[in-house]
Amino acid sequence: MEYKLNLNNRAFDAIKAGTKKIEIRVTTDKNRMNYEDIKKGDILEFTNEKLEKIKCLVKENAWYENSSKLLEMEGTRFTLSSTNDINRGIDSINRFTGYKEGIEKNGIHAIHLEYQPQPKIVNMSLYNENFGYIKNGTKRIEIRLNDEKRKTICVGDYIEFENLDTKEKLMVRVVALLNYETIENLINDYKIELLLDKGISKEELINIFNNIYSNEDQYKYKILGIKFEIVK
């Protein structure tokens, strides 16, 4: 299920920044929404005062008898965007319209969130042979350094590969990010045809990678395997 909720700018920005991972909600006389209905796996779409929107995956929905017990169990680090003090946090929660009375009647919910950034398109280039392995073969993992550009890639993003020789383009969707210390460790965990082509040995692939990226850069950035599926 997907639920649409409003949120003030400060809390909205804190969720985006990763400093707020728990949303506190209370059923009140004015807002009769039953937050008990929200389950693990549901999606919450938040709209802020500037009408910006973000989506979050519900990881857990914990109910507490009162805000004091909630903050004692959940802490303040990821629950409050305005203070780290429990007593001030209780006062802050009670200032929301109807919350004090609502908590006495219905308790209070700590909804654990995982922010889901909107998918973006990342552009990458490949030589004709490697492009062909993706288009016509079984290659489904692209190996790169985990440098600053690659650190921005998230599961669910899209990569538009461009063939450097023909300028043909191919769109894929990222389904997993595989982090490794060395190229050898990554290659040992997957069939060679998923990484390039079954006609190439693991030793040849390691040499190809080492000829592109220096040992210093590999040590500095480590290795990223980008597992993808072709977008039909």
> What distance in Å separates the CA atoms of residue 37 and residue 103, rounded to the nearest whole number?
17
pLDDT digits (tens, 9 = 90+) for 125-170: 999 999 999 998 889 999 999 999 999 898 889 999 999 999 999 9
> What distance in Å separates the CA atoms of residue 24 and residue 148, rounded to the nearest whole number?
34
pLDDT digits (tens, 9 = 90+) for 28-67: 999 999 999 999 999 999 999 999 999 999 999 999 999 9
Average pLDDT over residues 187-192: 95
Average pLDDT over residues 212-219: 96
Percentage of the chain beyond pLDDT 90 is 86
pLDDT of residue 82: 67
Average pLDDT over residues 176-183: 95
> pTM of the prediction?
0.61
User: Going by DSSP bridges, is the β-strand pair 43-47/53-64 parallel, antiparallel, or unpaired?
Assistant: antiparallel
Classify 98 as helix, strand or coil: coil
Cα-based torsion angle of the residue sequence 34, 37, 39, 43 in order, rounded to the nearest 10 degrees: -70
DSSP-H helix ranges across the chain: 9-17, 67-74, 86-94, 99-106, 128-136, 183-188, 192-195, 202-212, 215-221
- State the Rg of the chain over Cα: 24
> What distance in Å separates the CA atoms of residue 34 and residue 30, rounded to the nearest whole number?
12
pLDDT of residue 134: 96
pLDDT digits (tens, 9 = 90+) for 190-199: 999 999 998 9
Average pLDDT over residues 108-133: 94
In the predicted model, is pLDDT for residue 176 greater than 70? yes
pLDDT digits (tens, 9 = 90+) for 63-98: 999 999 999 999 988 998 666 788 998 999 999 999
Classify 84 as helix, strand or coil: coil
46 DSSP assignment: E
Using a 10 angstrom Cβ sphere, with 0-12 exposed, 13-18 middle and 19 or more buried, the burial of residue 151 is: exposed
